[in-house]
Structures are given as C-alpha cells and as structure tokens.
A and B are shown apart, each in its own frame.
Chain A
C-alpha cells in the first residue's frame, strides 16, 4: 500500500493566487515527521517545511504553510501568493520513528504558475 499519496499529478495556478497541494499518508507509528520538498527543473531537492506528529499547530515558513489534519492523515501544502519561481515538482515525504530514518516520498505534484 502507498504510504504517501499525492493525488494531483499536475496543477495550474495563477500568479499571486494561493494553491493547495494534497498529501495523505499512512502509518501506524505514533512518532513521525512530514516534509515537503520542491524540485525545480534544475533537479535539486529543496526542503520547504516540516510538521511533527506531535505538533498541535500547523507549520508555517514564509509563504508556505502545512495544513495538518492528523485524524484524516493529511498534510497539505498551501503556497500563498504564488510566484513564477514556484513552478516545480513538489514532493510530500514522511519519516517514521521506527523505520531507520528513511524518507518515504509521494509521487509528486507538478505545479505550473501562470503569469
């Protein structure tokens, strides 16, 4: 079974608008971390934001926020005020405490920001 599911292979958003990228996860571990990474066309993996399983507040980092709904096992990324430079692949990932530190990735969502 997929541990990380990103159901949107591709999305478009107008510049300056907000966009939500979906991510659901599956784990029986109580301790885990959820992460979002950005991969521009140049290929590097850039860490964006993190949410711990015990965190009660949603994480925010600048224009990025994570909408964490633990009971629904979802960790959606919200990008506010989209910019052209936000066009990239976005990956949701999870680290489980009992799994040796491995990052498990979703299949990614390709975001295109339109001018």
Chain B
C-alpha cells in the first residue's frame, strides 16, 4: 500500500530534550516536505527536499533540522525543543511537479512542556 509513515503519532516531552520525528514513504517520490499546523495559523511549511541530499527552508524553519540521505526518509529533528514548537506536524511526499498532489502522513502531535 502506498503511504507516508510518520512516527511517533503522539509525543509529550520536555523543553530541551532532543527529539526526532521520522518520516518514510514507499512511493519513490522525489519531493518531501514537513508542515506544522496550528490553530489560527493554518498549515505552514517547515522544510522541504527536492531530492536526496537537497533540502531547503520553508516558511518557519527556525528550531528545526532535516536530512535527506535516502530517497524514502526525511526525518525532522528538534535539537532543543521549546513550548512554541507544540503543534501538529505533517510529513508529505509527491512527485516533483506542481501538478502532482502531495500525500500526507497521519500526523504527529507534539507537546513540549
């Protein structure tokens, strides 16, 4: 089954404790992206990757890191999480064209205390 898999689905942690949210897709998509969704602010792009070893900042990259060492994986790293990073996070993937839909993972609810 074609899918984007995020882990964990839920996480409660404390300020400053490094964490990684994994994202994997099995559709051989070149493009992968991370979004965060917050009430009143909608969905905003954090980072994206056009292909292996190619990553770039989205609209809200501060406090996050990513890597794309393999085509299928695109982890999101919070080196020193803070409460303002409490949010619902989505990983998405697609073929590179603007005419292709992005397929989303089920989301990760992060709470930083």
Contact = CB atoms under 8 A, between A and B. Distances in A.
Contacts of B90: 45
B88 A43 contact: yes
A33 B56 contact: no
Interface stretch (B19-27, B65-73, B102-110): B102-110
A33 B59 CA distance: 20
B107 A31 contact: no
A39 to B, nearest CB: 9
A18 to B, nearest CB: 23
Contact of A103 (B45, B56, B107): B45
Contacts of A101: 31, 33, 48, 50, 94, 96, 98
Contacts of B101: 33, 35, 47, 50
Interface of B: 31, 33, 35, 42-43, 45, 48, 50, 56, 58-59, 88, 90, 92, 94, 96-107, 109
